[in-house]
Amino acid sequence: MKERYETKVAVFLILTRKVNGQTEILLQRRCNTGYMDGQYDMACSGHLEKGESLSMALAREAKEEINLDIKEDDLRIVSVIHPYKEDYINVFFTTDKYVGEPKILEPDKCDDLKWFKFEELPENITIRNRNVIKNIKKGIIYDDGDFTHQKMAD
């Protein structure tokens, strides 16, 4: 019998707001994780747990990591990335609706939380997230590219 493919699922929050007519995105800088430390990542992210829907997982992660209450109905999927060589499916949601003030609740994993203009991302944003944002701007929702840390986005 053929072995079935198994994969892990991670969810990511693209939290936005409008300031003076420009869209800003909240990013956190990773630290002490051993993976892409010093790089900016989405506002929060995490793994799907047993018994959770994707939106339930992301609402939970937003509360645990950045102190925000987000309604599941306010989350909208904007990108799905399947880097199959890593055995992951990454699902990116966006919203600009939340209750609370963003703050770092996991200082052992995140050392900065900052709003950036959507058109002026920091140089040290993860390659995967730079590619996701590029795809969103182009209207590309699904990508099965095997992004690597060396591959630079356009």
Q: How far is CA 44 from the centre of its chain?
A: 6
Stated length of the chain: 154
Residue 15 has pLDDT above 50, yes or no: yes
Q: What is the pLDDT of residues 33-80, one digit of tens each?
A: 988 899 999 999 999 999 999 999 999 999 999 999 999 999 999 999
The fourth-level CATH superfamily of domain 8-143 is Nucleoside Triphosphate Pyrophosphohydrolase (3.90.79.10)
With CA atoms as reference, report the closest residue to 65 among 103, 115, 13.
103
Give me the pLDDT at residue 152, please: 41
* Contact criterion met (CB below 8 Å) for 122 and 40: yes
Task: Delimit the domains of the chain by residue range.
Answer: 8-143
**Identity of residue 24:** E
- For the cut 60, the answer to whether the pLDDT of residue 147 exceeds it is no
In this prediction the pTM is 0.89
pLDDT for 146 equals 54
